[in-house]
Structure 1
């Protein structure tokens, strides 16, 4: 082969590689903005036609105290609703991806009616809390721990249950093995949480955009390491659950195509041997719709779990 031909091939090959890298970089920035950067567009609320809409209306009538903490350099906001009868038992209710405390009112009312104090925080980069980057539970777990510590400092006799929905569910699972989590936290309830951020984003890339994990998800993970200090695989609920010692109830819908139902079984299997664990699978429930699909079974299961492990 002549030198001129080789040179042309080298130039063409280099150009193609450079173009592909440029395309990947552009796609990475685009999808990073979609997946990680704060967006305050109002999120879906419980529809007025929902079986649980009366719970939302009741919760709206309750007196709420606005609380603020500062953690990791961010001001974080929450609602606190005391139980009707004085109690040491409190549930921290953690919302999901691109949601806020307002979207969790039906759950707040659920636990209020069970006789609990209720704390509904806005995650970082959501609602009234500060922050610009979504962390898929990796940093959010530290915020949940900070709220638990605040409640414990104010009442050393407090008994806390962590409850989370979707990303919030992954968050409370990721918090479960942290040494900083106070002993006052004695049980965990998660609803439709993913096994880890890598698996969820890989699944979303395929199901929503028909994009394979390589190279985009790898590039997203690398960019996130630069911007936030962690790779996607480090935001892992299953890893945390393998060290969790607190009783846990895992809930999912069998028609969930956003966080696939298979992840329920991954999380359930991951729980540390000997740790009390229970599972509820709601037939016909889509993502984050288990409570609305079968309110009575949902409430009864949670009530039974809390009586068993938290004395309700």
Structure 2
């Protein structure tokens, strides 16, 4: 993605005295990380097929993932919501066995399913809903209906800036309302990985309807500021200050949110539904210390955390598949 050119622009911004240089650097960082329409952005490379997102070898080589993707491609159906800032946001859904839509688009009383269980799955940064096809397939086999929104800046919602879970958490309320409108007796669980994990944590402190019974997050970050600071130090080897301050100012002006305010940690202080926190002990992308921070911040009277030894970022369910499935399945059984 011509990373050298992007980093060169940032370095030049630091070297040039005055706000103009920092403005250049802040815009370059914003475009690289959060603007899928920018020529040299991470998302543009992925959307054009020049690079892959979260499909690393440990995931791509898993046979159950390939089979689940084939199932998902066949079973998925389009679903959309009106975005609060205009336009439409897209996702995919697969109704559970026995769930029958009525002509008015709501759930038919003739539906044979009696459990009314729904799982909303939220994918990570640079990914797409199909990254969670394995989890969707497993839930569907257990009788769940599944809904997989595409995050802002991703897949069919690539016409928008990336929301890093913060903007998506508000969108998640609309996705939840769509399920409640479809089935007022719905029993809903939220599940997210990485940026999706941050998204469901950020949603935990919002005014969730009673149909949302529990939330599971896997390797989500404490805040957008904290996560970008980690990446700037460890991946880009760039100074956090003043670059990240400049990029935050750009993000606030162009995308409408700030990196510091976009905090899962703060939102969790208002969480009320049961929460399950999962993380890989060898995660170098979202440090395991963030697990401790979000767990301690969570105000829910029911909360659990599990650390998976030897697992990298988003890989806990692949390194420890049986244990992971047992923990998640047990949590869902107890709270749905």
Alignment TM-score, normalising by the size of structure 2? 0.82
Bigger Cα displacement from structure 2, 257-266 vs 74-83: 74-83
Q: In structure 2, which of residues 302, 306, 323 is the aligned counterpart of residue 280 of structure 1?
A: 306
Larger radius of gyration: 1
Distance 2:67 2:197 in 1: 21
Distance 1:50 1:102 in 2: 14
Aligned partner of 1:140 in structure 2 is 168
Task: In structure 2, list runs of 5 or more residues that go unmatched.
Answer: 1-13, 37-42, 99-112
Aligned partner of 2:82 in structure 1 is 70
1:144 is paired with a residue whose SS is helix
CA RMSD of aligned residues (A): 2.0
Aligned partner of 1:249 in structure 2 is 276
Report if aligned partners of 1:124, 1:140 keep a CA contact under 8 Å in 2: yes
Bigger Cα displacement from structure 2, 119-128 vs 160-169: 119-128
Distance 1:105 1:75 in 2: 23
Distance 1:243 1:304 in 2: 25
Q: In structure 1, which of residues 96, 103, 110 is the aligned counterpart of residue 124 of structure 2?
A: 96
Report how far residue 22 of structure 1 moved: 4.0
Query: Residues 137-164 of structure 1: CA distance to partner in whole angstroms, max 9, x if unpaired?
Result: 2211111110100100111000100101
Q: How does 1:51-130 map to 2 (within 5 A)?
A: 52-53=64-65, 55-57=67-69, 59-60=71-72, 62-72=74-84, 73-85=86-98, 86=113, 87-129=115-157
In the alignment, structure 1 residue 266 sits paired with structure 2 residue 278? no
Report how far residue 62 of structure 1 moved: 5.0
Aligned partner of 1:220 in structure 2 is 247
Distance 2:289 2:283 in 1: 9
Alignment TM-score, normalising by the size of structure 1? 0.88
2:270 is paired with a residue whose SS is coil
